[in-house]
Structure 1
């Protein structure tokens, strides 16, 4: 399978590999080759078969009977096949997002929505293991896929890169783009006044007020990840502002001084010595026990929250911390 782009390689690598062997569109591939050889100037894509959803002819609900005709349109434009189920809220969410993005596209790509409860053989043909699964088909072949829902911004980027990669190969893309009613743009949601207040406090250096604002959000929404990140940043900024650069040398000379080790780690993170800070606290965890060990562990975990979860320095330090604890 040719991969245009993937929103999350960890989620899609196995799926894409499976699709490359699971889907047999050999007849379509042969037809695509013949079309390229015989058509010096291909005509724009015809409207897709299937049942239109009422908003645009390039958004269709596909059955087992109409699927072949819809996929044949991939000789002209990419066909984004959404394999979902009516019982799955994630399928409904993703269908709504893809429909919103497809409506203004002018037919530069086709959204083919499949309800696997009504058309299970289509899911079997693609080797689907979970819903929703989304597959991009071009030139009669699946070229990319992802499982699960995505945020609208990620979907927009995925579709944009799909079109960019295929524009010179599929003649209907440019024709559809010429008819598009609006460019593919993300509508910015209104700013949350709670976050505005917290961020303004942070920017003026009032870290205590920023912490209180972020904490108030978390009190109302304990799972709010942005508020968690903001609170961690505000707590660290307050500590870092009060840090004495000489604390690092002090901590090096007093390995059993817990307060010095924590302050030194903060100073090192503030001066971009991130790996050194993580190592310092992991080594301290190895040396202490009981409440002191838990205190150091919690401080280190708090430092992890200052960085993206996929930061390799965080991943390595988490592994080292687990080894030190167990």
Structure 2
């Protein structure tokens, strides 16, 4: 990949120690492990580049072509793509695997890099704040007003659908999400669709009390553990669900074709990744992966 700004560069076996390890003593360096055949990598890379440019030199972005740089891949034990690792003071300090929403990346960087100046608050940001405080009716009212002025505002449509879902209007929420066009807000859209999926799945699953009873008799009942997590997600019991999913992933990461890992990532999208629970569990998942 060609150099895009002075702060973005390709890292190879020849320059890695200088460009990444040594540079990280001066500025944090985000390392993006990618490959040409990896579609999520191509979605993530422009987002990482845009965020890096916003920091105007306070953050560097190193791109590692994993097909060409097998020695680096082996050195850091990279097992899935994309993988992003943040280096600071010569050491990896945080990271994630898989394409992530912008909020997740910013939350990861916040403790380590001086943040760019925030933009002025707008009506959507106000509605988002209400939603984050579980003031769903107020958020919905604000979003209706915003959408009356611009019914193509994709983030507002997605958040409006989540408000509808919170009060059980699943079909109406689905219709709103189906009206969202373009790929720019793919991660937020995926999170909102995950919310609907959890609510619909929970309606077909055994009662939580029955699932807890099964687990009491057999703590290794992976199906009961997974189904209980889905029930907890449908009831906004996020901490219990995340803990159960992470334990299931550690115990049997291949269960139901990696369902625990996939669902963890869906929950991260659902909560927006700047949620304190997600910050904790994203790091615990990263530790379990690597």
Q: TM-score, normalised by structure 1?
A: 0.45
The alignment of Structure 1 onto Structure 2 pairs a total of residues equal to: 193
1:121 pairs, out of 71, 80, 103, with 71
Residues in 2 aligned to 1:134 and 1:87: alpha-carbon distance in whole angstroms: 17
Residues in 2 aligned to 1:114 and 1:197: alpha-carbon distance in whole angstroms: 38
Residues in 2 aligned to 1:313 and 1:53: alpha-carbon distance in whole angstroms: 39
**Any gaps of 5 or more consecutive residues in structure 2?**
126-152, 180-188, 214-226, 249-290
**Displacement of 1:134 after TM fit?**
1.7
**Displacement of 1:193 after TM fit?**
4.2
1:307 pairs, out of 216, 221, 236, with 236
Residues in 2 aligned to 1:304 and 1:103: alpha-carbon distance in whole angstroms: 36
**1:90 paired residue number:** 40
Alignment RMSD: 4.7
2:193 pairs, out of 195, 219, 224, with 224
**Displacement of 1:92 after TM fit?**
1.9
Going from structure 1 to structure 2, the CA distance change for 1:302 and 1:133 (only over 3 Å counts) comes to closer
User: Is 1:107 matched with 2:57?
Assistant: yes
**1:294 paired residue number:** none
Q: TM-score, normalised by structure 2?
A: 0.50
Residues in 2 aligned to 1:303 and 1:192: alpha-carbon distance in whole angstroms: 26
How do 1:242-281 residues align onto structure 2 when only pairs under 5 Å count? 278-279=208-209
**Displacement of 1:151 after TM fit?**
1.3
User: Is 1:190 matched with 2:154?
Assistant: yes
**Any gaps of 5 or more consecutive residues in structure 1?**
1-50, 165-176, 236-261, 266-277, 284-297, 320-326
**1:162 paired residue number:** 112
Tell me if the contact between 2:157 and 2:177 (Cα under 8 Å) persists in the aligned partners: no
Residues in 2 aligned to 1:63 and 1:313: alpha-carbon distance in whole angstroms: 37
Tell me if the contact between 1:84 and 1:132 (Cα under 8 Å) persists in the aligned partners: yes
**Displacement of 1:105 after TM fit?**
0.5
Residues in 1 aligned to 2:199 and 2:58: alpha-carbon distance in whole angstroms: 40
Tell me if the contact between 1:83 and 1:131 (Cα under 8 Å) persists in the aligned partners: yes
Residues in 2 aligned to 1:144 and 1:100: alpha-carbon distance in whole angstroms: 20
Residues in 2 aligned to 1:123 and 1:313: alpha-carbon distance in whole angstroms: 29
**Displacement of 1:96 after TM fit?**
1.9
Going from structure 1 to structure 2, the CA distance change for 1:109 and 1:185 (only over 3 Å counts) comes to farther
How do 1:280-319 residues align onto structure 2 when only pairs under 5 Å count? 305-308=234-237, 310-311=239-240, 315=244
Residues in 1 aligned to 2:72 and 2:9: alpha-carbon distance in whole angstroms: 15
- Tell me the secondary structure at the aligned position of residue 130 of structure 1: coil
- Tell me the secondary structure at the aligned position of residue 236 of structure 2: coil
**Displacement of 1:312 after TM fit?**
5.4
**Displacement of 1:162 after TM fit?**
2.1
Going from structure 1 to structure 2, the CA distance change for 1:139 and 1:131 (only over 3 Å counts) comes to same
User: Is 1:73 matched with 2:23?
Assistant: yes
